[in-house]
Structure formats: structure tokens, C-alpha cells
């Protein structure tokens, strides 16, 4: 018997308590089933079918985000940016999905704080680890991957979440600023991905690059940053073609303005709370949806692209910007 569009209330009289709790756990995160086959214990026309069946025997074996390498932002001269709200938000969101996480950044104390937050969110000790490292260092990139594989035995998803920005016009940008943005935003992620590809081929995993609206829309006063993100978007599309024959998907999320620390670092004019609030008020008017983004917006988009729900999506540049990329250049092209 197949019950179409079941609700938790309708299922309760007919399904075992154990399965009922699992169904409620999924709907807690907005992952309800369109149909449910109570005799086979599996939902039809839904990718949770195999997850649910395998979960009855082994809660880990069918997890769509079974193991995840999630890296935080790294910036020379500043703290490791896993404490950035966006990076931290990603880690917390995936911990609620019971992914296995390897977190990396430059500051081990900050990493441990995020690890503890993930554990408080319900992630078991055995499902999370961290390794300090500088993403621009080849030795550290090797160490990060080696630690992940030694800990979890495989790699299913790589989230490239490094990023730094300097507000500077072309004429004012120094060689050091240019090199830093290219090294952190592009070069380091290219070579980390290069090293991860053999493991992703084994698992037919996928990659999600965190880019920016600036990769697709020209903006004044952040030329080098726009260039670095445009390079990541092109990398996403080229790599999607390269890895498609191996069943490995590659996508990118391109956020608009998101509440985080990236615009409040040492070089920024928005370090004071009052100045940052004014900045956000201005940015709110540039997003047609009427608000700026929050870390959860980006984390949910990453989780979707990393999941089997997106199994036919690759080479996609996904804007997460409240339709800002759709408006006129007069609105889009200002970052201040």
C-alpha cells in the first residue's frame, strides 16, 4: 500500500516507532517524503529511499554527506577564518546533517572552538576532526588531505571555502595585495582540489566551490577580488567537464552580501559596529529580496549541491544573493 503525501500524523498508526522517529528527524530539517511505501520501508520517487533502507541497518552507511572535507578561510596575517560566521555556519549546518567533518584553518584554538560547537549541535566525537594548516602551503595541503583519509578512510565532498578581500582600486592595489588574493582565493584551492581528485574519483564524490557574485558581476574598487572569483567560476565549469566521465560533480555557490567577518578585517573601514551596521543597511537596499544573506543561506545551498538531490547538476554557478545579480548595473556594481 502506498500512501501519497504522507504526514507524520498519518504515518504514526502504521509505522514502527523507530522508523517514525527517523522520519521525524528528516522532516525536522525540511526533508519530508512525497510518498511512503510502508511495506518496503521506503519512499518512492525520492532519493531518501536508499538512505532510509540503509539507515535501518547502519545509521552511517547511507548518509548523503557521509564524509566531508570542509575547510575554513585562511588569510596571511589574520586569524584562521573558520571563526568567520560563514565558515562556522557551514560546519554547524553539516554537523546537524551528521556529516563526518575534517575542519582546517591556521589557528588550532579557533578550530577546537568550532569542533566543540559542532559537538554541542549533536555531532559525535568520532565524526569530526580538525587539522591546523595554511591553505597556501603545499605541505599543509598534503597534511590536510592525508589526515582526512587516515581518519575517515575516504573523501566524498570537498568544499573550497577559502577567501580574502581587499577594498582597493586597480591603481591602488599593491603587488602584495594582488598576490594574496590570488593565492588564497584561487591558487591554493586549485591545488588542493588537484590533490583531492584521486580520492573523489574513488567515491564518485563532488566539489562545491564558494565563489561570489563578484565572479559574475563587475564591481568597482574590488578588481583583483573579482578577478580571483571569476577564475574560480571558470575553474568550476572547466573541472565539471573534466570530471564528468568519472561521475564527479563540480558546482559553485556565488553569495551576495552575507553577514560575516570578511568585510571587517584589519584593512576594512567597517570594523566599528556602527560603520558595519550602516554598510549592511546600504547593502540591504541592493538585494531585491529585502535583506542581506546569513551564513545559513549559503550553508543550505552548499548542502543541496553536495547531496544526491543534485545528482544531475554539475558545472552550475548558483547565485545565493536574493536576486541581486538580476538588477541593473547601477545597483549591482557598487560594493559600498
Half-sphere CA count of 165, side-chain side, radius 13 A: 23
Q: According to DSSP H, which parts of 171-307 are helical?
A: 175-182, 188-203, 223-243, 273-286, 295-306
In CATH terms, the superfamily for domain 67-332 is NAD(P)-binding Rossmann-like Domain (3.40.50.720)
**Alpha-carbon distance values, 306 to 63, 117, 160, 211, 309 (Å):** 12, 22, 12, 15, 8
Q: What residues contact residue 233 under an 8 Å CB cut-off, 6+ apart? A: 211, 215, 216, 252, 254, 317
- The catalytic residue positions are 225
pLDDT tens for each residue of 176-205: 999 999 999 999 999 999 999 999 999 999
Higher-confidence position of 29 and 248: 248
- pLDDT of res. 293: 94
- pLDDT of res. 269: 73
Nearest to 332 by CA among 231, 227, 216: 216
The 8-class DSSP code of residue 185 comes to I
Does residue 333 carry a pLDDT above 70?
Answer: no
The helix-helix angle for 138-152 and 188-203 (nearest 10°) equals 20
Domain borders along the chain are 2-57, 67-332
Most confident segment among 26-40, 202-216, 260-274 = 202-216
Does residue 224 carry a pLDDT above 70?
Answer: yes
Global confidence as pTM: 0.74
pLDDT tens for each residue of 97-154: 889 999 988 888 888 899 999 999 999 999 999 999 999 999 999 999 999 999 999 9
Whose grid coordinates read 584589519? Answer: 266
Amino acid at each position: 500500500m502506498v500512501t501519497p503525501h504522507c504526514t507524520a500524523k498519518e504515518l504514526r498508526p502504521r509505522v514502527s516507532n523507530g522508523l517514525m522517529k527517523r522520519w521525524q528527524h528528516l522532516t525536522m530539517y525540511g526533508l519530508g517524503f512525497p510518498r511512503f511505501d510502508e511495506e518496503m520501508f521506503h519512499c518512492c520517487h525520492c532519493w531518501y529511499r536508499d538512505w532510509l533502507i540503509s539507515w535501518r541497518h547502519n545509521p552511517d552507511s547511507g548518509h548523503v554527506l557521509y564524509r566531508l572535507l570542509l575547510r575554513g578561510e585562511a588569510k596571511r596575517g589574520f586569524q584562521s577564518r573558520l571563526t568567520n560566521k560563514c565558515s562556522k555556519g557551514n560546519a554547524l549546518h553539516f554537523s546537524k546533517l551528521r556529516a563526518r567533518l575534517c575542519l582546517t584553518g591556521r589557528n588550532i584554538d579557533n578550530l577546537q572552538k568550532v569542533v566543540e560547537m559542532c559537538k554541542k549541535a549533536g555531532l559525535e566525537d568520532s565524526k569530526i576532526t580538525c587539522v591546523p594548516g595554511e591553505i597556501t602551503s603545499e605541505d599543509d595541503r598534503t597534511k590536510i588531505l592525508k589526515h582526512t583519509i587516515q581518519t575517515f578512510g575516504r573523501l566524498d565532498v570537498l568544499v573550497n571555502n577559502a577567501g580574502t578581500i581587499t577594498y582597493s582600486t586597480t591603481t591602488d592595489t599593491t603587488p602584495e595585495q594582488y598576490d594574496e588574493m590570488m593565492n588564497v582565493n584561487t591558487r591554493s584551492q586549485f591545488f588542493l582540489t588537484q590533490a583531492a581528485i584521486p580520492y573523489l574519483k574513488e567515491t564518485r564524490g563532488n566539489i562545491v566551490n564558494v565563489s561570489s557574485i563578484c565572479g559574475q558581476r563587475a564591481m568597482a574598487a574590488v578588481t583583483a577580488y573579482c578577478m580571483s572569483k571569476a577564475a574560480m567560476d571558470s575553474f568550476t565549469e572547466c573541472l565539471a567537464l573534466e570530471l564528468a566521465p568519472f561521475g564527479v560533480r563540480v558546482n559553485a555557490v556565488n553569495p551576495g552580501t552575507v553577514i560575516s567577518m570578511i568585510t571587517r578585517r584589519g584593512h576594512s573601514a567597517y570594523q566599528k559596529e556602527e560603520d558595519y551596521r550602516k554598510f549592511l543597511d546600504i547593502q540591504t537596499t541592493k538585494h531585491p529580496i529585502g535583506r542581506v544573506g546569513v551564513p545559513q543561506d549559503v550553508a543550505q545551498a552548499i548542502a543541496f549541491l553536495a547531496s544526491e538531490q543534485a545528482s544531475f547538476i554539475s558545472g552550475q554557478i548558483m547565485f545565493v544573493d536574493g536576486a541581486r545579480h538580476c538588477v541593473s548595473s547601477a545597483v549591482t556594481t557598487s560594493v559600498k
